[in-house]
Structure 1
Amino acid sequence: MKSATKCFFGLSLLTPAIISSCTQNDLNDTPFAIILLPAIGAIAVVGILLYLLMIRQRETFYSAQKTMTKNLLVSEIERAKRHGHRTGIMIMDIEDSVGRGIHYFLPGRTVNVEHVEKEIRKSDQFLQVDYRRYKVVLSHITADNSANIIKDRLLKIAEEKKWPDIKIGVATYPTDGESAESLINSAIADMERS
C-alpha cells in the first residue's frame, strides 16, 4: 500500500524518479477512491463557479430591468406634468407555487408575462423585474381611481382563471407621490397591505 500511495502521489506531482519506480501492480493496488477524489473535487468547483456566474448574470439582468422601470416611470411622470394628466405604477407579486416552465403544460392554473399582458392596455409598459414580480407603468390615467380599477379587474380575472395567489399594489402620480421612487414605494406599501 505504501508503494501504491507513493506511486499515486508521484504521478500527481510528475516526479520522474518516483514514476520510474512505479509498477503496474502498484497502480492496480491504489484504492479507487484516492484516484476519484480529485475528479469529484474538480467537478464540484466547476459546478459552484457556474452557479455563481448564473446568479451574477441574473442579478445583472434584473438590476437593468429595475433601472429601466424607474427610467420609464420618470419619463412618464415628466410627460404627465407637461400635459396635465395622471400616470401610475402597478406592482404585482405572484405566488411561486409552480416551477419555471411548468406553466406551459398547465394552462389556466399558472400565470406568466403573456397572461398578464393580455389583460392590460397596449399603451401600458409591462416589465418583469424579478422571477415572480412584475411592474406595469400605467400611462395616461384619466382619474385617481383608474389604477385601482385596473387592479380590481386583474384580481377578478386571477380569481376566475384560478391563478395562484397574486398581490397587486398601485400608486398614482400626483396623488401617491411626486417622484418615481416615491411612487414605487407607495405601490409596494399598497401591495403589502392587500
Structure 2
Amino acid sequence: MPVDLEALYPRLIHLMLDTVFVVDANNQIVFVSDACEALLGYRAAELTATAITDYMHPDDLAITRASIGRVMNGQSHVDFRNRFIRKDGTVVHILWAALWSEQVNARIGVARDVTALRKAEEALHFLAHHDPLTGLTNRLLFTDRLSAALRVARRGTCSVALLFLDLNDFKGINDVHGHAAGDRVLCAIARRIEGCVRETDTVARIGGDEFVVLLTGIQSREAVSTKVQQILSIMDEPLDAEFHRVDMPSCSIGVACYPEDGEDADTLLSHADSDMYRIKRLRSAGGRNARGHA
C-alpha cells in the first residue's frame, strides 16, 4: 500500500525540532509549528494572527525589516540571524532560512535557536582578545587599540601616552606562596590598575607580570605623571587579609608619550619598556624604598 506523503506533511512539520513559520505580506503569522513553544515560550495558538514583528528584539527590527524586504522580492535568505523576546522576557538568538512563496502568498521561514552557539562564539571572541587569567585586554587587542589611538592622534585631535608596568620581585610570591597565590595577586593588581583609569583607556597584560596602560586624551606630561603616582599609590596599599600574609609587590612604571617619545606603536612601546628598566635600575641602586617612577 503506497504511503500518503501529503497526509503526513502536517505531522512531520510538527515533529521538527526547528520552528516553521508562515507569515503573510502584512507580517501576520498564519501558521507556526508546535516547536514554537520551546523556541519562544508561546503556544502556536497564541502566536497565530499576531504580528511576528511584535516578538522581535527592538534593536534588530531595522535589519530584520531589510531582510524581509529581500525575501519578499524573491531572494531566499538562509543565514540570517536576529533576536526575539521570549514570553518570559529572555532573549533568544535565532538563525533563519526563509523564502517567499507565490503559491500561498506568504513567506515561509524555518527558525533555529542558536543562543548557545552565540554565547560560545562570544566566549571564543573574548578569549581571542583578552588575557584568560585577569580578563584584561591581551597584546593583540592592545596593539589594535594603540594603532587606532595613534591614527586619531596624528590628526591632532587626541594625545596618547603609554605606561609600561613591571612588578618587582613577583617571582618570590610564586616561589614562597605558590603559583595559585601569584595568580590571585595578578588579578588583584589588574583590578587596581583598572580602577585608576577611565573607561576610554585600556589596560592590558602582555606578559607574566607585565602590564601596559594606554591613556588617550592626555593634556600634558604632568597629567601622565599624576596618573603614574595614582597607580603607585594604589599599589602601595596592602593586600586584603584573604591573601594570608602575601605582601603586595612594588612596581616600576615606564612612560612614553606621543609624539615626543615616538610616533609609531613599536617605538613608543620600546621607549616605555626602556624607561621602565631605567626605573627598575634606579630602584635596585636606591634600595627597596625607591619609588617606581622618576
Q: What is the TM-score with the length of structure 1 in the denominator?
A: 0.58
What does residue 166 of structure 2 align with?
A: 93
What does residue 181 of structure 2 align with?
A: 102
C-alpha distance in structure 1 between counterparts of 2:148 and 2:173, whole Å: 35
- The CA deviation at 1:159 is 2.2
Q: How many pairs were matched up? A: 131
Specify whether residues 190 and 105 from structure 1 end up closer, same or farther in structure 2 by C-alpha distance, changes over 3 A only: closer
C-alpha distance in structure 1 between counterparts of 2:151 and 2:252, whole Å: 28
Q: Which has the higher strand share?
A: 2
1:183 aligns with 2:268: yes
RMSD value over aligned CA atoms? 2.8
- The CA deviation at 1:101 is 3.2
C-alpha distance in structure 1 between counterparts of 2:188 and 2:278, whole Å: 22
- The CA deviation at 1:156 is 2.2
**Counterpart of 2:231 in 1: which secondary structure?**
helix
- The CA deviation at 1:165 is 2.1
Specify whether residues 105 and 170 from structure 1 end up closer, same or farther in structure 2 by C-alpha distance, changes over 3 A only: closer
1:193 aligns with 2:266: no
The answer on whether the counterparts of 2:158 and 2:216 sit within 8 Å (CA) in structure 1 is no
**2:150 maps to which of 77, 100, 118:** 77
- The CA deviation at 1:141 is 0.8
The answer on whether the counterparts of 1:103 and 1:112 sit within 8 Å (CA) in structure 2 is no
Specify whether residues 67 and 103 from structure 1 end up closer, same or farther in structure 2 by C-alpha distance, changes over 3 A only: closer
The answer on whether the counterparts of 1:93 and 1:133 sit within 8 Å (CA) in structure 2 is yes
**2:251 maps to which of 142, 166, 173:** 166
What is the one-letter code of the residue matched to 2:173? V
Specify whether residues 85 and 164 from structure 1 end up closer, same or farther in structure 2 by C-alpha distance, changes over 3 A only: same
**1:126 maps to which of 187, 203, 208:** 203
C-alpha distance in structure 1 between counterparts of 2:266 and 2:222, whole Å: 20
Q: Which of structure 1's runs of 4+ aligned residues deviate more than 4 A?
A: 103-106
- The CA deviation at 1:135 is 1.0
What does residue 139 of structure 2 align with?
A: 66
What is the one-letter code of the residue matched to 1:84? T
**1:114 maps to which of 175, 191, 202:** 191
- The CA deviation at 1:129 is 0.9
- The CA deviation at 1:71 is 2.1
1:147 aligns with 2:224: yes
Specify whether residues 104 and 188 from structure 1 end up closer, same or farther in structure 2 by C-alpha distance, changes over 3 A only: closer
C-alpha distance in structure 2 between counterparts of 1:105 and 1:123, whole Å: 26
**Counterpart of 2:249 in 1: which secondary structure?**
coil
**Counterpart of 1:118 in 2: which secondary structure?**
helix
Q: Cα deviations across residues 127-157 of structure 1 (Å, max 9, x unaligned)? A: 1111211111111111123222211221122
Q: Cα deviations across residues 18-42 of structure 1 (Å, max 9, x unaligned)? A: xxxxxxxxxxxxxxxxxxxxxxxxx
Which consecutive residues of structure 1, in runs of 5 or more, have no partner in the other structure? 1-60
Q: Identity, % of aligned pairs?
A: 22
Q: What is the TM-score with the length of structure 2 in the denominator?
A: 0.40
Q: Which has the higher helix share?
A: 1
C-alpha distance in structure 1 between counterparts of 2:147 and 2:173, whole Å: 34
**Counterpart of 2:196 in 1: which secondary structure?**
coil
